[in-house]
Amino acid sequence: MKILGIDSSTRICSLGLIEEHNILTEYNINSYYQKTSSILVPAIKTMLEGVNLTLAEIDGIAVAIGPGSFTGLRIGLGVAKGLCYATTSLPLWGISTLDALAYSLRGVPSLICPLLLSTREEIFSAVFRGGEDSLEKIIDYDCSDMDTLLAKISFLKEKIIFIGEGLKKYQKAIQERLNQEALFIDSPLAFPRGVNIAFLGLEKLQKGEKEDIHTLSPLYLRKSQAEMVREKKTTEI
């Protein structure tokens, strides 16, 4: 089974093509050099050509549905829907970017908290319990400030791994606030990769799941209005 994974929710546009448990090819490009809106379809074309495959030889497409940049997500979803519509038999799966990020730590028996940090101090998060061969979501996707997130996590009282690019600057604040042991992975590799999206798509395929391409939409997550107002006040003092 060959699956194409697409993520365009962050400034890195990431594509991956897998076959069962192997990566066939991977493509990442920073939108600073090529805007995602221009590069996405040509990149898919180039990537497929690189491994001598055509769309018709693929068994499905997995696409990121967020949380992340709304415009980015809509580009990815638009392209994925178009590809699946044109290739009638091609199934489509929507994958959360936070699941994809946590997937990097698959097999690690610990609590895992993937974080996606946006420019406006918005933090997208979720908490998973990692098992030998599973990732179970125990706190749902949210968009909040760090305080709100830590308040929820501090109840768990178990060792937890935070993963996300750019989370270094929160490390001290997190450590001071939590009573449990916390590990931090802040690496340039900690973004929702296309291959991870593809692997999660494969799981859905094996479970026999499939989205309706007519209705699949992004996860539109954002901070509550109350939080935005609160934050504004603290910066003005």
Token pair in block for residue 84:
């699946």
For the CB of residue 232, give the shortest distance to another protein in the complex, in Å. 5
User: Do the Cβ atoms of 161 and 185 come closer than 8 Å?
Assistant: yes
Site membership for another protein, residue 143 (CB under 8 A): no
Q: Which is nearer to another protein, 63 or 198 (CB)?
A: 63
Give me the least distance between CB of 18 and another protein, in Å please. Answer: 20
Total of chain residues touching another protein, rule CB under 8 A: 42
User: Residue 234 interacts with another protein (CB under 8 A)?
Assistant: no
Q: How is residue 130 annotated by DSSP?
A: E
Check if the beta carbon of residue 145 is closer than 8 Å to that of residue 125: no
Cα–Cα distance, 141 to 151 (Å, whole number) = 15
Task: Please select the residue that binds another protein; options are 28, 37, 110, 148, rule is CB under 8 A.
Answer: 37
Is residue 215 a contact point for another protein (CB under 8 A)?
Answer: yes
- 45 counts as binding another protein under rule CB under 8 A: yes
Closest distance of CB 45 from another protein, Å: 6
Contact letters (x/-) for another protein, 68-107, by CB under 8 A? -xxx--xxxxxxxxxx-xxx--------------------
Nearest distance, CB of residue 92 and another protein, angstroms: 10
Task: Identify the residue whose tokens are 């391409």.
Answer: 213
The answer to whether the Cα torsion of 27, 30, 34, 37 is positive or negative is positive
- Our measurement of the distance from residue 29's CA atom to the centroid of its chain's CA atoms, rounded to an integer in Å, reads 16
- Going by their DSSP bridges, the two strands 160-163 and 135-144 should be labelled as unpaired
The whole-angstrom separation of Cα 216 and Cα 15 is 19
Interface positions with another protein (CB under 8 A) = 34-35, 37-42, 44-45, 55, 69-71, 74-83, 85-87, 119-120, 213-215, 217-218, 220, 222, 225, 228-229, 232, 235-236
